[in-house]
Structure 1
Amino acid sequence: MRAAGFAGIDNTEALAEGWQVTDFADAGRRSLANLVKRTGAPAVMVSFLDSDVGFIEALTPDGNSWEGLLNRETAKSYEIPLEHFPIEPAVAGALAWSAAAGLTPDEEAIRQTLTGSALFVEELSSALMIALGLPGAT
């Protein structure tokens, strides 16, 4: 991950079937693309704003990508333009990303994470990983 442009790597949790979740402090502008290129595997990244809002980016090796936003109601208080993060394209993108990754997604659960709210956005991020079908995600 360091070679891909991630910094402040703190903790990595191994999941089933070779998947992993890694905490990091910062990512460069092309870090996600670099990681996918280096590993040849799909990846999803959630960047947190004060544990209040999560910005999702996901990419597959064939270039399919999607973006989303977690904790939309809280995002309004930060004056984040919600129209830049429409829900239906994010749901469709998440489903396509998950299928390309060989996972079995739960469409309704994905929609719930993208429209739901939580005191700490990390809770929605964890729920999203489960909804995307990451094996062993909790």
Structure 2
Amino acid sequence: MGNRGGTAVARATVAELEEFAAEAGCAGIDGAGDLGGGWSQVQYDDQPDGAALAAALARRTGAPVLTVAYLDSDVGFVEAATFAGGSWRALLNRVTAENYEIPVDRFPVETALAGALDWAAAAGLSADPAGIRAALADSETFAEELTDRLLGALGIPSAAPGAAGA
């Protein structure tokens, strides 16, 4: 895949999320889609700091937001924020991250799991703790695959296991 960009997921229309992401500094928005249940996703070539982006989008949408910045599709850096100011971060594809000499101990799975569950509750979603833990701890060829699994485990409607189009 070779992705060096990122993705943002929020409860907003596709047009709103595209506009908000551009306003927040995302460059090269090149893909967007409706995930169902009021959730949308945009992809972009370049983004500002992930934590700042997630917080800015959460303020703008008034809803929880999750962003993932990709390192050549090998590793994903997750940043999530809620409108109330809650946040969490995680690392996707830990084994590959170690090969890049990324200090995975700075991204504890259990801390991310707790944050993810709080985030999902704030979003009114029914999360799957075991599925979230697996997405955060497992490895795949592409980090985007783990993003899809994480979104489904968080309860994002069309990304949920068994949902139409998933």
Normalising by structure 2, we get a TM-score of 0.81
1:1-138 aligned at under 5 Å gives the runs 1-29=21-49, 30-137=52-159, 138=166
1:12–1:23 contact (8 Å) kept in structure 2:
yes
Q: CA deviation at 1:71?
A: 0.5
Q: CA deviation at 1:92?
A: 0.5
Query: How many residues get paired?
Result: 138
**Rounded Cα–Cα distance in structure 1 between residues aligned with 2:62 and 2:116:** 18
**Rounded Cα–Cα distance in structure 2 between residues aligned with 1:109 and 1:15:** 19
SS where residue 136 of structure 1 aligns?
Answer: helix
**Rounded Cα–Cα distance in structure 1 between residues aligned with 2:156 and 2:107:** 23
Give 2:23's aligned amino acid.
A
SS where residue 2 of structure 1 aligns?
Answer: helix
SS where residue 101 of structure 2 aligns?
Answer: coil
Give 2:156's aligned amino acid.
L
* Runs (5+) with no aligned partner, structure 2: 1-20, 160-165
Normalising by structure 1, we get a TM-score of 0.96
